[in-house]
Amino acid sequence: MSDRREFVKISLLSSAALLSGSKLSAQQKIPDEKKYNTTKGKPVVISTWDFGQAANAGAWSVLEQYGKAIDAVEAGVKIPEANPFNQSVGYGGRPDRDGRVTLDACIMDEQGKCGSVACIEHIKHPISVARMVMERTPHVMLVGDGALQFALANGFKREKLLTSQSERDWREWLKREKYAPQKNIENRMPGGADNHDTIGMIAIDMKGNISGACTTSGMAYKMHGRVGDSPIIGAGLYVDNEVGAATGTGVGEEVIRIVGAHLIVELMRMGLTPEAACKRAIERIAANNPGNPNDIQVGFLALNKHGEYGAYALQKGFSYSVKNGHEDVVLEAKHLL
Ligand code: SD4
């Protein structure tokens, strides 16, 4: 079966499952100002990039049925994880320079509980493994073979994640790049946002609780074993139920250097708006790269306890998706350069 036909089949099955599992009628699902208390901005889900819009729809189907934010963000990011045409997340992700698809993911809930997997292979939904690390182990993070063993022991299926398209692209890259990892390879790929980047997602549920998830295949053609910011709590994602949450996308090494998501949450705690906090973090990244800020891209996205959201990027081109009771939009982030 072709990749596309397989994905269409999976999508139809998932929609059917969602519909059959739904307890509310279609009419009750229509957003309603009172029901969703939209003046307070809840519930709301935001995520990185324009492909976040499809993921937000998955999260929304949980939120609108009074589901928990943690369930919403997991359900939401599983959508790009399962999409073989998204070559930066999960199944179909671009491999490392050795041709191996290695995935990074983390999740964090309203109680500050968190779980993470890094450099995990052969598992289509690393976000669900991360959640299981959070819920069934005394640890926060499992990596590589240990993460795979844990997943297999807990019922996850071993699958081939390298699609024919991603394998073809990798073989082409090998001819041109002579096996040397590039700092910001995704910006040189044609085709726009579909061709790059992590999904980071944050949601507030009807009760006002906040959770987040972040999942990626990481920088394309990275060295084997390289881990970016996305599975690192505090760098790629951070949630504090009293304040808000933040996530990001782009060159993970730069995000780790400033512990980006945690920095943004702390700036919001001090009173900055989500956008101002993201901007301040981006300015630090620019300051860390005085010679060559044009070689890198980082975008941050944040949500505060009141449901106010904002984003900021180093360079033009970072989009993010927002869904709440009165809007379902893709927005362009402001940028520094
Ligand atoms: C990483 N931040 O692995 C992730 C991937 C990404 O642009 O967003 N790349 O560094």
Distances (CA, A) of 152 to 80, 92, 141, 288: 22, 20, 16, 41
Torsion sign (Cα): 187, 228, 10, 44? negative
Which domain does 317 fall in, by range? 2-335
Kindly tell me if the per-residue pLDDT of 5 is higher than 90: no
Question: In the prediction, which pLDDT does 27 show?
Answer: 38
Q: For residue 48, give the ligand 1 atom closest to its CA.
A: 8
CATH of the domain at 226: 3.60.20.30
Percent of the chain with pLDDT over 70: 83
Tokens of 267: 């700036």
Q: What is the pLDDT of residues 183-217, one digit of tens each?
A: 654 443 333 434 457 999 999 999 999 999 999 99
Query: Which residue out of 183, 186, 216, 315 has the highest number of ligand 1 atoms within 8 Å of its CB and is therefore the one to mutate?
Result: 216
Classify residue 102 by burial, with Cβ atoms within 10 Å: 0-12, 13-18, 19+.
buried
Per the structure, the count of domains in the chain is 1
Q: Residues near 17 by Cβ (< 8 Å), separated by ≥ 6? A: none
CA of 255 to the centre of ligand 1 (A): 9
96 lines ligand 1 (CB under 6 A): no
Q: Confidence band (pLDDT; 50, 70, 90) for 3?
A: very low
Q: What is the pLDDT of residues 228-263, one digit of tens each?
A: 999 999 999 999 999 999 999 999 999 999 999 999
- Can you name the residues that pair with 311 across neighbouring β-strands? 301
Assessment of whether the complete model's pTM goes beyond 0.75: yes
User: Per mean pLDDT, which range of 22-36, 218-232, 260-274, 304-318 is the poorest?
Assistant: 22-36
Kindly tell me if the per-residue pLDDT of 40 is higher than 90: no
Kindly report the protein residue whose alpha carbon is nearest to atom 6 of ligand 1: 250
Kindly tell me if the per-residue pLDDT of 315 is higher than 50: yes
Kindly tell me if the per-residue pLDDT of 10 is higher than 90: no
Classify residue 194 by burial, with Cβ atoms within 10 Å: 0-12, 13-18, 19+.
middle
User: Which residues in 152-180 are b (16+ Cβ under 10 Å) and which e?
Assistant: eeeebeeeebbbeebeebbeebeeeeeee
Classify residue 329 by burial, with Cβ atoms within 10 Å: 0-12, 13-18, 19+.
exposed
Q: What is the pLDDT of residues 60-119, one digit of tens each?
A: 999 999 999 999 999 999 999 998 888 889 998 999 999 999 999 999 999 999 999 999
229 lines ligand 1 (CB under 6 A): yes
